[in-house]
Amino acid sequence: MSRPDSATDVFEAHRPRLARLAYRMLGSLAEAEDVVQEAWLRWSRVDPAEIREPAAWLTRTTTRLALDLLKSARARRETYVGSWLPEPLITGPEADAETFADDLTLSLMTAMERLSPLERAAFLLHDVFEVGFDEVAATAEEGERIARAFFDASRSGDLAALGALLAEGATLRADGGGKVIAFHNPIHGARKLLRLFAGLNRKYGAEAYEMIRPMWIDGLPGYVSLERGRVLQTTALAIEDGRIVDIFITRNPDKLARVAALLDLSGREAAN
């Protein structure tokens, strides 16, 4: 016997939140969709009369499914080439405060990699999905200005402008997944980063870099760009007190397929 439409409506009302929860735990949109689909299958087999609080049941089920998948995902990451970053979840610069209401920033998601799967689940359920992060949107204008200034300065090799944007302890992490050239280890410190960008500018020149569009990436200001017309990447910036403290660059084409499709760049994300 099929479930009543109201049960389907209940699940669909919770689907966006469940998808965000699964993504925040796994860092993969595809895996998050698989988890939510499995949660739906389990929801479709239960008696609605036995479920007093559908939201709590669906959250627990999604969390348990994500925990099971996270164990194998962590094992895969142990053999990952270079730095691992979550698959970028992008929104346009026009996104409003509601878009970021319960979202987690990329810098915090990366920090959560140090937590055990159970610690991560507890943190998400208690501290994030019950508390809005409206302050992310409150600083949207400043973040977008700094992201544009960072792209312009790094592209042109303007070290004075870059130095004014970077915090002394700024760190860059790049995820190429062994598929494209990327820095295997994090690069720490403004001085090292200035030397890095100066070297890249000497090697490739300003014309090698093209900004496709400013974007918000997992709650952080940033942009989608192309290097030499063929390497697609996202750059997200964590900003504190008007200075960039973390730079997250995702270049792994496996993680950028959705970005390429969204921006109609499917023919331009080739590897190096």
End-to-end CA distance of the chain: 54
For β-strands 220-227 and 90-91, DSSP reports them as unpaired
Q: pLDDT digit of tens for each residue in the chain (272 aa)?
A: 444 458 889 999 999 989 988 988 888 899 999 999 999 999 999 987 788 889 889 988 998 899 888 877 777 777 788 888 888 888 765 544 444 445 556 767 777 776 766 666 766 776 556 533 343 344 778 888 999 999 999 999 999 999 999 999 999 999 999 999 899 999 999 999 999 999 999 999 989 999 999 998 887 889 999 998 889 999 999 888 889 999 999 999 999 999 998 888 765 544 44
Global pTM value: 0.72
Write down the pLDDT at residue 132: 37
Residue for token digits 């995902």? 73
Give yes or no for a contact between 270 and 250, defined as CB atoms under 8 angstroms apart. Answer: no
Write down the pLDDT at residue 103: 53
111-to-21, 86, 122 alpha-carbon distances in Å: 16, 11, 15
> Could you give the domains of the chain?
1-79 (1.10.1740.10), 84-272 (3.10.450.50)
Give yes or no for a contact between 58 and 14, defined as CB atoms under 8 angstroms apart. Answer: yes
**Long-range Cβ contacts of 48-55 (<8 Å, 24+ apart):** 48/3, 48/4, 48/7, 54/10, 54/11, 54/14, 55/14
Write down the pLDDT at residue 74: 73
- Measured in degrees and rounded to the nearest 5, phi and psi for residue 245 equal -105, -25
Write down the pLDDT at residue 97: 43
DSSP 136-201: HHHTHHHHHHHHHHHHHHHHHT-HHHHHHHEEEEEEEEEE-TTTS---SS-EESHHHHHHHHHHHH
